[in-house]
Amino acid sequence: MNILNNTFNTPYNTAPFSKIKTEDFMPAFKEAIKRAKVEIDVITSNDDAPTFENTIEALDYSGEELDRISSIFFNLNSAETNDDIQKIAQEVSPLLSEFSNDITLNEELFKRVKAVYELKPQLNLTTEQSTLLDKKYKGFSRNGANLPKDKKEKLRAIDKELSKLKLTFGEHILAETNRFEMHLTDEKDVSGLPDGAKEAAKQLAESKDKEGWIITLDYPSYIPFMTYADNRALREKLSKAFGRKGFQNDELDNQDIVLKIANLRFQRAQLLGYKTHAHFVLEERMAETPEKVESFLNELLDKAKPAAIEEFQTLSDFAKEKDGIKILQKWDGAYYSEKLKQKLFDLDDEQLKPYFKLENVIDGAFTVAEKLFGLQFKRTDTIDKYHEEVMTYEVLDETGALVSIFYADFFPRSGKRNGAWMTSYKPQMIKDGVNERPHVSIVCNFTKPTKSKPSLLTFNEVTTLFHEFGHALHGMLANTKYPSLSGTSVYWDFVELPSQILENWCYEEETLKLFAKHYETGEVIPMELIEKIKAAATFQEGMQTLRQLSFGLLDMSWHGIKPSEITDVKNHEAEAFEGTNLYPDVSENCMSTSFAHIFQGGYSSGYYSYKWAEVLDADAFEYFKEEGIFNKNVANKFKIHILSQGGTDNPMTLYKKFRGQEPKPEALLRRAGLMKN
């Protein structure tokens, strides 16, 4: 019998990674889909009149085995993939898409859901039950349940094709990232690079039996080179390689895929009676409409653009004065920004890194979680893992009861996609009177320890770790009845609040003193460095804001219109970027073809949500600052009203319960230095 279709005989019912073979997945998926269909049949063939319990609740608890197998498989496809896993992903994605459509287009099931929905006023439901009922009904109506048969079939075909295109898009990016390497043999070519980055590049070359240094498009290799390498021509070469992923008119080209995805999403929205894909998506967001998103982005653009232009001019003047650079190019940005930051604040990442040994930063995040929410993190070796580098923890509350299982995976590998994310292997829910606790994971790509140094993080990486850990706390502290409303299952423009708010603690002296200790001497980070970190926090904030807004506007330009008129991806992108451009365009580069957030991940029509959530997190953190950053009362309100509630209520309602008022954008503008106090 397939291990994946059985109850796992493991501590806390954790995934038995070492016992799962790749060939187990396909048969396990097929069996789980079959069983899930039986569960649906039980609901639809029930002779009793539809009730909340026998229809809505039963539906939410159905397919648990399939969800579990899916989470294990697709998390591996992101963090520890190989050709076989990618092949299975291509085969299984259409099956899952079809199964999902089998449910949403099941007329008998929808009849029952609709019957309960129409009785809603008489049912005396709790807030959570009422939210679940709305969600289930919309899950059908927004996926075609009210459509005639021919249109339902068309919808199925679109969904099937979209699921394959999104996978192919991601595979192309991973293949592009893996196939590029810049092999350097002259010491002059790595001039300016910090010792740690140089040593990592040397180790990579050694691992491939080569002399010298190898630089790749993986972030821990790419970012230091773009920030510190003195050789401008090599920075240009690397920058152009990074910017042309999926844009080389070869077998890994994504231009057609981008056009197809945008058009299929538009057709899907139209089928369902929405004007555009953005209108469809935003109905289920705090922002509600594309018009609101556009005005939100443009309002921030008006505030940030003058500062951004001024900052860019200052940077251009600095590069010209320093090295005679006539026109500042994209491959100069990080390099001269770092030099200017060092000049203005006498601060650079290399100065800070010795104080941010990875293990200490992890302990720091744990200590913050303990001080705020009373959590304890106990390292354990009894829990199976998918790679030897993964660390596993039992998370306990003040009474010693299990809150969550936590996996942490920090270093780049060839089978792991770039970036950082939080995910889950098992959701929290209350079923049959048992509060099932979640299994949560964070995945990052930090510099590996070398022969002479431990893994030392840049300050930006410290905030990344805290960010993902904030998402993890949202998952860990979930305390809802229904799995589909649990943890991070919230509106996408609300999901970044717990992650982004946690970054704020990284700038506070009270926090830094807990963990920022020199890896060799144990000396606590000096006060003047903390002051410099805070002073530098708003450095080039106008330019950073403009960059984020440009991504949000690009996203809306693909999804807030009828895309069938677009024939040239690059030209369309250039138009979308017109109001936010600072640097000259690079003709060989295109962002859309590697914009995985919107074409592979779930951020289509949602990239604005990073900025939206910044408004929330700045406003929420001001509350902590007023009362004390480790104030138990405020932390408890945040835990009770935000972290534990998941998607059980409207996010604005939850936010107001925590804060006592709606969020005000002034807090963000103050923090960003774009508005005086």
pLDDT 10s digits, 590-618 = 999 999 999 998 899 999 998 999 999 99
Determine the pLDDT at residue 675: 75
Among candidates 631, 617, 628, which has minimal Cα distance to 664?
617
Using pLDDT thresholds of 50, 70 and 90, give the confidence band for residue 349. Answer: confident
pLDDT confidence of residue 272: 96
Lowest mean pLDDT among 48-57, 69-78, 663-672: 663-672
Beta bridge partners of 357: 456
Each residue's pLDDT tens digit, 484-518: 999 999 998 899 999 999 999 999 999 999 999 99
Q: Which of 614, 354, 334, 547 is nearest to 459 (CA)?
A: 354
Tell me, which fold does domain 354-528 have in CATH? Answer: Neurolysin; domain 3 (1.10.1370)
Question: Which pLDDT score is estimated for 353?
Answer: 95
Answer for the pair 69, 28: CB distance below 8 angstroms, yes or no: yes
Tokens representing 587?
A: 């003709």
pLDDT interval class at 651 (50, 70, 90): very high
How does pLDDT run across 282-307, given as a tens digit for each residue?
Answer: 999 999 999 999 999 999 999 999 99
The pLDDT score that the predictor gives to residue 439 is 98
Token pair 């021919």 is found at: 150
Percent of the chain with pLDDT over 70: 100
Q: For residue 22, what are its two tokens? A: 């790749």
Task: Please indicate whether residue 663 or residue 472 has the higher confidence score (pLDDT).
Answer: 472
**Mean of the per-residue pLDDT values of the chain:** 95
Closest CA to 239 of 223, 252, 255: 223
Strand partners, 182: 215
Q: Quote the tokens at residue 549.
A: 């807004």
pLDDT attached to residue 674: 85
Domains 3-146 and 354-528 share a fold: no
For residue 378, give both structure tokens: 């106990």
pLDDT at 646 over 60: yes
Residue type present at position 423:
T
| Catalytic residue status for 206 | no
pLDDT band at 118 (very low <50, low <70, confident <90, very high): very high
Q: Mean pLDDT, to the nearest integer, of 533-555?
A: 94
What 8-state DSSP symbol labels residue 525? P
CA angle 121, 122, 123 (to 5 degrees): 100
Alpha-helical segments (H) within 216-373: 219-228, 232-243, 255-271, 277-282, 290-323, 330-345, 349-352, 358-373
Average pLDDT (329-348) is 94
Its pTM stands at 0.84
In CATH, the architecture of 255-345+541-605 is Orthogonal Bundle (1.10)
Confidence (pLDDT) at 168: 97
Handedness of CA 101, 103, 108, 113 (dihedral sign): negative
- What is the residue whose two structure tokens read 């008022």? 661
- Angstrom CA distances, 494 to 192, 646, 654, stand at 41, 10, 10
| Whether the predicted pLDDT of 143 surpasses 90 | no
Query: Residue 631 region, left (φ>0) first, then alpha (ψ -120 to 50), else beta?
Result: beta
Q: How many CB atoms lie within 10 A of CB 379?
A: 12
Lowest average pLDDT, out of 25-29, 118-122, 535-539, 578-582, goes to 535-539
Residues 6+ apart with CB under 8 A from 640: none
Tokens 């900052």, residue?
A: 311
> Of 57, 350, 468, 496, which one is the catalytic site residue?
468
Distance between start and end Cα atoms, the chain: 65
Which residue's entry shows tokens 């796992």? 8
Select the more confidently predicted residue: 193 or 105: 193
Q: How is the chain split into domains, by residue range?
A: 3-146, 180-243, 255-345+541-605, 354-528
- pLDDT surpasses 60 at 677: no
- pLDDT recorded at residue 259: 98
Q: DSSP class of residue 438?
A: P
Lookup: tokens for 40? 């649906």
Q: Domain 3-146: which topology?
A: Glutathione S-transferase Yfyf (Class Pi); Chain A, domain 2 (1.20.1050)
Provide the pLDDT for residue 676: 58
DSSP state of 580: T
Which helix (DSSP H) or strand (DSSP E) does residue 304 occupy? Answer: helix 290-323
pLDDT of residue 570: 98
Taking only the tens place, the pLDDT of each residue in 558-578 is 999 999 999 999 999 999 999
Q: Are 544 and 565 in contact (CB under 8 A)?
A: no
Tell me if 290 sits within 8 A of 278, measured CB to CB: yes
